[in-house]
Chain A
Amino acid sequence: MKNLFDRFRQTGQASSKAPVASPSRGRAPEIDRAGSRPANPIFPTKVFREFLEILSRKDRPVILDLGALIGSNVEYFFNLGVKVHVEDLVGSYQNHRYWNLVEGQMLFDEPRFLKENLDYPEGTFDGVIIWDLLNFIDPKFARSFVQRITLMTKLGGCVLAFVHTQNPPGLTPIRKYRLVEDCSLEYIPSGVFLEFKKTYQTRDITQLFVDYPGMKFHLLKHNILEVLLKKE
């Protein structure tokens, strides 16, 4: 019986063509070796495998994809029979309708943002993926954001998050992460620059996600921390 990782590996061995957002079932996009577009750095992930394992124990899993949208990632989960909800929060967070000018200061309208972008019933999702997002939102808002996610996640579900552990200088480009062969991620600059608000170390994550007793950390290259949180 072939599992998901075998399929990842098989794709890797056979890949020599340019990547396509292939609608074929269960295939991760292939790494570009033909040079049809500029190559982006690709790094293997560790806890992503475990995230998939947790999903595999669910019947018809439902996940929420938060962050900059990568179509092939959505297709990948879809082709495995996973129901995927997509919220492009990077785009929404910049939307001017959530920012009000009050006494010369731009204030973020948290309740409206949460109502319009994260209005899901309690215990809807088996898994939530937070891509390059947490570092760019206000730390105060990050708390209510995480609380909302906790509410929406089922017991036994999990959250996979990617955070920067170091503060890059100046305006920071938001990254997109594309799933490629053999459980690796391709880092793609999205072209969107946002103000970097906070770095997250393991301790910060522990304090932020208080309702998740099971935590696993893995430091990827480029100072990116991969975090898996299990709601038990």
Chain B
Amino acid sequence: MWRTRKTEEEKDPFVNRKEEPPLSPFEEKKPMEPRFEPRPNPIREEVVNIGKSVYIKGELSGDEDLTIEGRVEGRIELKAHNLVIGPNGRINAEVYAKNVTIIGSVVGNITGSEIVEIRASGSVVGDIKSPRISIADGAHFKGSVDMQKGSEEPKKVEFSRPETVKPSVDPVPLKTLIK
């Protein structure tokens, strides 16, 4: 007899129904993600600079990146590091490094385990061995460039050859034709 008033929610239980979080005695939290923030390493970031007035004769080797603005005669070995011959750098030496950038001048052979780059103002007289090279326009270079053996095998040079007409069927052995 009595009409009970039904709210909309009661009519359709899925309308305006908010999702309730599952009951749990513990508050759910996202797991903490590891955060790696690079810390400045004063030793690593430094690049050693050999100044304009410095003249070194002999063997120069090291375990960090190096920029040379002075003069070096002999041998430079920074096998796993970068070497920059600055605009004032004058090198008369055999050079071994990972990346070699020449803005000044080098007389001697250069071996780079990654790349040897001669910038526009750079000058090289000597042979270069490296898997990659870059020679800017205006650079002076006299010598040879060759891919370093071992680090990366050079691609077999593939050029187009004159096309040969292929037989449509298997070629008949020559012996069967000659009777």
Question: Which residues of B approach A to under 8 Å, CB–CB?
Answer: 115, 118, 132-137, 139-147, 154-162
Contacts and interface: CB of A to CB of B under 8 A. Distances in A.
Contacts of A109: none
Interface stretch (A82-90, A146-154, A156-164): A82-90
A26 interface: yes
A94 interface: no
A74 B132 contact: no
Contact of B159 (A56, A60, A84, A86): A56
A219 interface: no
A61 B156 CA distance: 10
8 contacts: A3-B159, A53-B162, A69-B141, A75-B135, A86-B143, A86-B145, A87-B142, A88-B141
Contacts of B161: 53, 56
Contacts of A5: 159-160
A179 to B, nearest CB: 13
B153 to A, nearest CB: 8
B156 to A, nearest CB: 7
Contact of A21 (B115, B134, B154): B134
Instruction: List 4 A-B pairs, minimum CB-CB distance, nearest first.
Output: A71-B135, A81-B154, A56-B159, A3-B160
A23 B133 contact: yes
Nearest to B147: A81
A84 B145 contact: yes
A106 to B, nearest CB: 24
A25 interface: yes
A1 interface: yes
Contacts of B133: 23, 74-75, 78
Nearest to A1: B158
A53 B160 contact: yes
Interface in A1-20: 1-6
B104 to A, nearest CB: 17
Contact of B143 (A25, A58, A75, A85): A85
Given A21-B134, A71-B135, A83-B145, A88 B140 contact: yes
Contact of B144 (A69, A70, A71, A85): A85
Contacts of A61: 157
B123 to A, nearest CB: 10
A107 interface: no
Interface string A81-111: 1111111100100000000000000000000
A83 B154 CA distance: 10
Contacts of A70: 137
Contacts of A192: none
A39 interface: no
A162 B29 CA distance: 75
A56 B142 contact: no
Interface in A31-63: 49, 52-53, 55-56, 58, 60-61
